[in-house]
């Protein structure tokens, strides 16, 4: 859909048109529903966007080896993580400021997650308070007569530990079931000024280090931003402060992964932050096997970056991922059609995933093994 940049963005659709049949369709339509600077902020990668491209270019290099006439009776794509059922190996990645994409922001996202039994990782930088998001999940799940979906809280360490601790305690009190410590984005120039009405709702009353982060072109080393970046001792501290499972997001090196697990991390999220931090990192799919080797199956490995279809997800599962996080497509679906758009996008992904599983001869996620792939990397 082409739109002149001077046009005002189209309002979100209230019904899903029949020509929206994939996440790619949502991505094509999304710019018409967003201000140009918001669209750019969502889509961009860092530097020359090598990592952003690597995240997509890896998929065609992995091809499938399907098994003929397998017995698919009783099949399903559900998995268990930290004692909870997930309808599919699929979660919503933490994304800052979802109200940039739709006025309901995180509330629309979490209602879609509840409708589709999909876990959501709520960002420290959510534009709705974490308590309100959890309450909306529970209220909507009750209305639908089901259990609320797994909700995890993504923590950005704050300049003062008391503020990190306050966030942790609020997340625990609101019923979040795991803490995701993102370690890769502290030293990152941050650009876009937020439009009126979109705020870091959880950080009211706290010094907002990230929002005043320096734009590109500034020296970061020696500034408070770099001085306060997460260190290993912060993980040791966090481990002491909570009994919830801790996942580290932004792991790319096998040695670091083993160290994190030794220090008590309960899971790792293999991620290059959607190509938004260090340009030149490999795709997460290219490093997940190294992490699987050094961590020896001691903790679940989740992954994100560039996942846009069911077959993409199957490839990660075959390489050892327990579940896959979806980032930007959330913003595309929210911009195009709010909660119904998001629910539809999640449904499409699950349907594609299950179709791919069936065609490969896998009745359950546990059957998706390395031997299902021809590696042409």
SS3 assignment, position 352: helix
273 catalytic? Reply is yes
Q: Is 322 in the site for ligand FNR (CB under 6 A)?
A: no
Q: Is 327 in the site for ligand FNR (CB under 6 A)?
A: yes
Binding residue (CB under 6 A) for ligand FNR from 286, 304, 352, 354: 304
Catalytic site residue from 41, 86, 273, 344: 273
The burial class, CB within 10 Å (0-12 / 13-18 / 19+), for 75 is middle
Binding residue (CB under 6 A) for ligand FNR from 305, 310, 338, 341: 305
Helices 254-262 and 284-295: angle between axes, nearest 10 degrees: 50
Q: Name, in order, each residue with C-beta under 8 angstroms of 278's C-beta and a sequence gap of 6 or more.
A: 46, 51, 184, 272
Rounded CA-CA distance 183/251 in Å is 8
Q: Which is nearer to ligand FNR, 125 or 291 (CB)?
A: 125
Binding residue (CB under 6 A) for ligand FNR from 188, 249, 315, 344: 249
Per DSSP bridges, beta strands 151-155 and 119-122 are parallel
Q: What is the DSSP string of 206-243?
A: S--TTTTPPPTTS--TTSHHHHTS--HHHHHHHHHH--
Per-residue contact flags (x/-) with ligand FNR for residues 162 to 201, judged by CB under 6 A: --------------------x-------------------
Binding residue (CB under 6 A) for ligand FNR from 186, 266, 307, 337: 307
HSE at residue 48, side-chain half, CA atoms within 13 A, is 2
Q: Is 323 in the site for ligand FNR (CB under 6 A)?
A: no
For residue 351 the two structure tokens come to: 């349907």
Q: Is 31 in the site for ligand FNR (CB under 6 A)?
A: no
Residue for token pair 């959330």: 330
Minimum gap (Å) between residue 70 Cβ and ligand FNR? 30
Rounded CA-CA distance 178/188 in Å is 25
Q: Is 96 in the site for ligand FNR (CB under 6 A)?
A: yes
Q: Which is nearer to ligand FNR, 269 or 362 (CB)?
A: 269
Q: Is 271 in the site for ligand FNR (CB under 6 A)?
A: yes
Q: Name, in order, each residue with C-beta under 8 angstroms of 258's C-beta and a sequence gap of 6 or more.
A: 294, 295
Q: Is 246 in the site for ligand FNR (CB under 6 A)?
A: no
Sole window of 58-66, 136-144, 232-240, 300-308 interacting with ligand FNR (rule: CB under 6 A): 300-308
Residues that bind ligand FNR (CB under 6 A): 42, 55, 93-96, 123, 125, 154, 182, 249, 271, 273-274, 276, 304-307, 326-328
Active-site residues: which are they?
A: 273
């Amino acid at each position: 859909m082409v739109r002149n940049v001077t046009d005002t963005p189209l309002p979100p659709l209230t019904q899903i048109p029949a020509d929206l049949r994939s996440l790619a369709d949502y991505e094509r339509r999304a710019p018409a529903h967003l201000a140009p600077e918001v669209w750019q902020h969502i889509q961009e990668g860092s530097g020359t966007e090598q990592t952003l491209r690597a995240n997509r270019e890896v998929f065609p290099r992995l091809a499938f080896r399907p098994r003929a006439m397998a017995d698919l009776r009783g099949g399903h794509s559900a998995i268990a993580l930290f004692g909870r059922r997930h309808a599919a190996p699929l979660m919503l990645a933490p994304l800052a400021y979802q109200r940039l994409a739709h006025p309901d922001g995180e509330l629309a996202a979490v209602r879609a997650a509840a409708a589709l039994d999909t876990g959501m990782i709520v960002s420290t930088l959510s534009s709705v308070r974490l308590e309100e998001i959890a309450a909306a999940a529970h209220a909507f799940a009750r209305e639908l007569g089901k259990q609320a979906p797994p909700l995890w809280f993504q923590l950005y360490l704050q300049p003062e530990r008391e503020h990190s601790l306050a966030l942790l305690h609020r997340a625990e009190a609101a019923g979040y079931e795991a803490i995701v410590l993102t370690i890769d984005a502290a030293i990152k120039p941050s650009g876009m000024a937020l439009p009126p009405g979109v705020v870091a709702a959880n950080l009211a009353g706290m010094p907002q280090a990230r929002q005043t982060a320096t734009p590109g072109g500034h020296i970061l080393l020696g500034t408070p931003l770099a001085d306060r970046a997460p260190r290993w001792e912060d993980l040791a501290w966090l481990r002491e402060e909570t009994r919830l499972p801790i996942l580290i997001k932004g792991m790319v090196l096998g040695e670091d992964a083993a160290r994190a697990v030794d220090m008590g991390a309960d899971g790792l999220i293999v991620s290059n932050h959607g190509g938004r931090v260090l340009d030149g990192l490999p795709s997460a799919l290219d490093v997940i096997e190294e992490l699987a080797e050094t961590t020896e199956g001691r903790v679940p490995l989740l992954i994100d970056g560039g996942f846009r279809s069911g077959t993409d997800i199957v490839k990660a599962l075959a390489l050892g991922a327990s579940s896959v996080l979806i980032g930007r497509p959330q913003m595309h679906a929210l911009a195009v059609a709010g909660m119904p758009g998001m629910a539809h996008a999640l449904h499409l992904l699950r349907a594609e995933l299950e179709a791919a599983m069936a065609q490969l001869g896998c009745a359950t996620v546990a059957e998706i093994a390395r031997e299902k792939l021809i590696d042409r990397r």
